Amino acid sequence: MPGITADDVGYKILNKFNNDVKFGRAFADSDGDIRLQMDRNSSGGVSAENIESDFDVFLMLIAKFLSDLESQTIA
């Protein structure tokens, strides 16, 4: 995620996020930048509906991660 590094996010929050979500994961890459990754829905092929669903799920993952990050910052 642009501008968010491992220095900004503790590994505790990454582990909690990864335990809470089913189709995604957050991690620090080799440069220390935070990355979000998700599994794609390819059930039944690559349809417009599946692609739309992928975007919806990814936006939900981003919102959850940012919410978790904000909760960590406030706590």
Residues 6+ apart with CB under 8 A from 7: 32
Per-residue pLDDT tens digits for 37-51: 998 877 777 888 888
Question: Which pLDDT tens digit goes with each residue over 5-42?
Answer: 777 787 888 898 999 998 899 999 898 889 999 988 77
DSSP state of 43: T
E strand map for 1-75: 24-28, 34-38
Instruction: Report the residue count for the chain.
Output: 75
pTM of the model: 0.77
For residue 24, the cross-strand partners are: 38
Residue type, 32: G
